[in-house]
Structure 1
Amino acid sequence: MITTKNITKSFGSVQVLKGIDLHIDKGEIVSIVGPSGAGKTTLLQILGTLDRPDGGEVRVDGVDVADLSTGQLSEFRNRHLGFIFQFHQLLPEFTALENILIPAYIAGTTKSRAQERAQELLRFLDLSHRAQHKPAQLSGGEKQRVAVARALINHPSVILADEPSGSLDSKNKAELHQLFFSLREKFGQTFVIVTHDEELAQLTDRTIHLRDGLVER
């Protein structure tokens, strides 16, 4: 599902990634861990096509993303990748339902089909009763579940999560962690999760340890 070969990335004179080789299988839930400054978020952004490496190769779902133009990358990202962030990044002026629908409308999905898919996700995530509430009216756990639904709306092959439980209390954190496995079972996605949470890392199928821009063997 995801393969990288000798990925490098520098910011100015600082080399953040020094040759990353990875292979992540379809349906795997993989955690990426390591100390601050190890390059975890930079790697996740490259896997998610939000940034380009200085060198090396990235293939996602069989596509060499280096071959895609900026417009093609945007379309590929919208249709094949879902993102979950630590602070959910919901638009405050929109309801939960409207936030979930945004990527579907960007993809050109018809309103009826998008609404049907959003309602399916709301039911699965036990959020139907909160569909018309704005983010300020939702709990932290509810906001993150809305963000999960938004990530899933276009049936992406891969979900990329950056510290997804970092802002949650212990109860909501445990529920979110279990949710990832339920989603994999129901929808079959591949998950790549950057985390400092040792409990989450231990739950995943495999843990990739990053240190000083390299994968520890």
Structure 2
Amino acid sequence: MVEGKGIHKSFGDLEVLKGIDVTIESGEIVSILGASGAGKTTLLQILGSLDKPTQGEVYMDGKAIHKLSENQLARFRNKHIGFVFQFHQLLPEFTAMENCLLPAYIGGVSKREADKKATELLGFLGLSHRLEHKPAELSGGEKQRVAVARALINDPLVIFADEPSGNLDSKNQEELMGLFVSLRDQFHQTFVIVTHDEHLALKSDRTIQMVDGVIVSNDL
């Protein structure tokens, strides 16, 4: 469902990715594990269309996303890809409900349909009582769940999560990973998660280990 072929990425003379071949199947939770500097975030950004490879090909649901223009990529990303980041990236002036709604409004979803979907998602994530609260009024775990709801609002093919538990305590880390598993089980949602936490990575369906820009293991 997501496939990278011969992915190289260089920044000047520094080669960060050195020929990556990777496939993510629909409904999988896959963790990309590695130390700082291994290239895992760069790989996630390329697979998620936030960056383009210096060399190589990226396909999502059979579509060659490495060939799309910036405008085409923006539309594709909005409709088919969700992102969850370590520091949530919520807009501080907006409520939990409004933050969740933004991708739907950008994608042209009607207000009635978007409001219904956002209310259902936030309710499923245990945030029905926090809809009108702004990020400063939410705990770290609550903010991350709002970010997950925002990532899900347009029914994406895949959610890319970059160190999503890195700013959470151990209890909220466990709850977040449990949430990903529930979403996989109930909605067949696909997740690609970058992490340096081996304990959390072991809860995935599969772990891809990276060292110095190459994949050294791909546990099935």
TM range (shorter): over 0.9
Query: Alignment partner of 1:194: what SS?
Result: strand
Deviations 1:45-64 (A, max 9, x none): 00110000011110011110
User: Could you say which residue in structure 2 is the equivalent of 1:12?
Assistant: 12
Report the residue type matching 2:189 in the other structure. Answer: Q
User: Could you say which residue in structure 1 is the equivalent of 2:159?
Assistant: 159
Cα offset, 1:67, TM superposition: 2.2
User: Could you say which residue in structure 2 is the equivalent of 1:168?
Assistant: 168
Report the residue type matching 1:102 in the other structure. Answer: L
Report the residue type matching 2:39 in the other structure. Answer: G
User: Percent identity among equivalent residues?
Assistant: 67
Structure 2, gaps ≥5 residues long: none
Report the residue type matching 1:144 in the other structure. Answer: Q
User: Could you say which residue in structure 2 is the equivalent of 1:89?
Assistant: 89
Partner Cα distance (1:140, 1:174) in 2: 13
User: Could you say which residue in structure 1 is the equivalent of 2:63?
Assistant: 63
Q: State whether structure 2 residue 145 is matched by structure 1 residue 135.
A: no
User: Could you say which residue in structure 1 is the equivalent of 2:189?
Assistant: 189
Deviations 1:82-131 (A, max 9, x none): 00000000000000000000000000000000000001101100101000
Please tell me the root mean square deviation across aligned C-alpha atoms, in Å: 0.7
Partner Cα distance (2:59, 2:76) in 1: 12
Deviations 1:30-79 (A, max 9, x none): 00011111100000000110000011110011110122111110000001
Which TM-score applies when normalising by structure 1? 0.99
Cα offset, 1:196, TM superposition: 1.1
Report the residue type matching 2:54 in the other structure. Answer: D
Partner Cα distance (1:76, 1:207) in 2: 27
The correspondence of residues 51-130 of structure 1 with structure 2, limited to 5 A, is: 51-130=51-130
Report the residue type matching 2:11 in the other structure. Answer: F
Query: Alignment partner of 1:177: what SS?
Result: helix
User: Could you say which residue in structure 2 is the equivalent of 1:177?
Assistant: 177
Partner Cα distance (2:186, 2:120) in 1: 12
User: Could you say which residue in structure 2 is the equivalent of 1:34?
Assistant: 34
Deviations 1:127-185 (A, max 9, x none): 01000000000000000000000000000010000000000011111100100000111
Report the residue type matching 1:113 in the other structure. Answer: E
Partner Cα distance (2:95, 2:187) in 1: 24
Structure 1, gaps ≥5 residues long: none
Query: Alignment partner of 2:202: what SS?
Result: helix
Report the residue type matching 1:208 in the other structure. Answer: I
Q: How many residues align?
A: 217
Partner Cα distance (1:172, 1:34) in 2: 22
User: Could you say which residue in structure 1 is the equivalent of 2:21?
Assistant: 21
Structure 1 residue ranges (4+ consecutive) displaced by more than 2 angstroms after TM superposition: none
Please say which of residues 185-194 and 138-147 is displaced more in the overlay.
185-194
